[in-house]
Structure 1
Amino acid sequence: MQDDDVDARELDRMLQRAFDASTKIYQQRGFQRRIGFGKKPALVSVDLANAWTRPGNPFTCDQRAMDGEIIPGMQRLLKACRAHGHPVIHVTTAYEITDPNAPFTDMGLWQCKIPIEVVDLQRKELWAIDSRIAPVKGEYTLLKKRASAFHGTGLGGLLRAAGVDTILVTGVTATACVRTTICDGLADGFRTIAVKECIGDRVPGAVAWNLYDIDAKFADVESVDTCVKYLEGAGATAQAAE
């Protein structure tokens, strides 16, 4: 057995013990409520671009999860959205002024913490959405500058204009861009659903802990199977109403 596999299993056991203890506290205090699915969904896919989904970049996420769960799960979600006409927003991140010593930069101060300068707007191969889940006609690609897909963008207005009340959020990373997008989505009045198998990160244990905590406070964590059934059902309901 690989040492990494042993370490991962031990980490899982430690996290489960933490989850069990935390659940008692949350339930005693009224957390872990359900927000539920609404009538009009949209898929918001955060940073599933090459700099995150492919090897060789500082932002590269866990490749076993990416290739084994996240991309296949996304393909199923996209198929359901496309078959039933649900909005799809692909979100990516890139910067035009990547010199950290420049007197002005669209990186702001974030580059003081993480190497965002490596995602150069001039290098489209880095910030382009992974070809395995590439946008098709009618889908929108949103370029953001901060962690949340809502911060400083028109995402909320686009969704409301389309009558969306529910967002299925996927992507990377669980600790940053996905989490902040979910928090801001709820704050903006959308029913937030985190798609369990389609959220990744770079750090072991980060996904499990963040999804557990998100499920307690900011979104319902649901499986790909459940979300696909919902997308199919919502599509059928909308067609019947027409």
Structure 2
Amino acid sequence: MDEYQRRGYGGAPVGFGRRPGIVVVDFQLGFTDPRFPLGGAPMINAAVDNTAILLRAARAAGVPVAACYIAYAGAGDAPHWKVAPVIDTLRHGSEAARLDPRIHDPDHDLVLCKSAPSIFFQTNAAPYFVRQGVDTVIVTGCVTSGCVRASVVDAFSYGFRVIVPEPCVGDVAREPHEANLRDIDRRYADVVDLPVCLDYLSNLERPNS
């Protein structure tokens, strides 16, 4: 038992609810394609492939999906990022802003452009899930220590149950990935393996069934 557990962190699991929705955070070419300065990290690439497996099961079960990308017109409409390539390469209409085709289904997914770390910040993600009757948000995407964590905290703050399938999120380095998932798991969400989510989706009742 570590010091956090002794103080009451990491209590009972959050658990899955009755109706899930999935968010896909920033799996755009600027983060997944090695041609771009922020792209091509092996952990992120693996997370894209694992998320594609999750999304096939989710779409087959009629689960709503909200995918986002981050883009700016230039430095003038961006926050004060300390990551120069975010502003230099992630521009509206650029190839770096395109969603990775491995995870994108334009016939099913709600696609959102965001300007801040969280998919929920000043976007339609939360109202969309509320209209769909969602009580559980499964968070995928990159990077774990940044935009994924921010999205988890906001989903938690909106009152959703939050689940993070560890193989479906990725970071540039292993240490911040694991450290942030440990902290997320002790505070806001259940961090689980991919088969746990796939089993949940396979046993899900379809809406209006």
Distance of 1:132 and 1:121 partners within structure 2: 21
Question: Unaligned regions of 5+ residues in structure 2, if any?
Answer: none
Contact 2:44 2:142 (8 Å CA) reproduced = no
1:50 aligns with 2:29: yes
> What is aligned with 2:4?
26
For residue 61 of structure 1, report the CA deviation from its aligned partner: 5.0
> What is aligned with 2:206?
238
Question: 2:93 corresponds to which letter in structure 1?
Answer: Q
Distance of 1:172 and 1:122 partners within structure 2: 20
> What is aligned with 2:193?
223
1:198 aligns with 2:168: yes
Output the TM-score relative to the length of structure 2: 0.93
For residue 56 of structure 1, report the CA deviation from its aligned partner: 2.9
> What is aligned with 2:104?
134
For residue 162 of structure 1, report the CA deviation from its aligned partner: 0.7
Distance of 1:134 and 1:161 partners within structure 2: 22
For residue 176 of structure 1, report the CA deviation from its aligned partner: 0.7
Contact 1:90 1:135 (8 Å CA) reproduced = no
Contact 1:135 1:141 (8 Å CA) reproduced = no
Count of equivalent residues: 206
Contact 1:129 1:135 (8 Å CA) reproduced = no
1:211 aligns with 2:181: yes
> What is aligned with 1:158?
128
> What is aligned with 1:41?
20
Larger radius of gyration: 1
Aligned-pair identity (%): 32
Distance of 1:204 and 1:32 partners within structure 2: 22
For residue 59 of structure 1, report the CA deviation from its aligned partner: 2.0
- Cα-to-partner distance string for 1:122-160 (whole Å, 9 max, x where unaligned): 31x111111122223021111100001111112111110
For residue 30 of structure 1, report the CA deviation from its aligned partner: 1.3
Distance of 1:181 and 1:24 partners within structure 2: 26
> Cα gap change, 1:42/1:90 in structure 2, threshold over 3 Å: closer, same or farther?
same
Question: 1:144 corresponds to which letter in structure 2?
Answer: K
Question: 1:238 corresponds to which letter in structure 2?
Answer: R
Question: 1:182 corresponds to which letter in structure 2?
Answer: V
For residue 91 of structure 1, report the CA deviation from its aligned partner: 1.0
For residue 25 of structure 1, report the CA deviation from its aligned partner: 1.3
Output the TM-score relative to the length of structure 1: 0.81
- RMSD (CA atoms): 1.5
Q: Secondary structure at the match of 1:168?
A: strand
- Cα-to-partner distance string for 1:86-132 (whole Å, 9 max, x where unaligned): 00111110012x1x3xxxx221333xx22221201131x11111112
Question: 2:117 corresponds to which letter in structure 1?
Answer: A
Distance of 2:185 and 2:200 partners within structure 1: 18
> What is aligned with 1:145?
115
**Pick from 81, 86, 104: which aligns with 2:63?**
86
Q: Which runs of 4+ in 1 moved over 6 A?
A: none
Distance of 1:176 and 1:35 partners within structure 2: 22
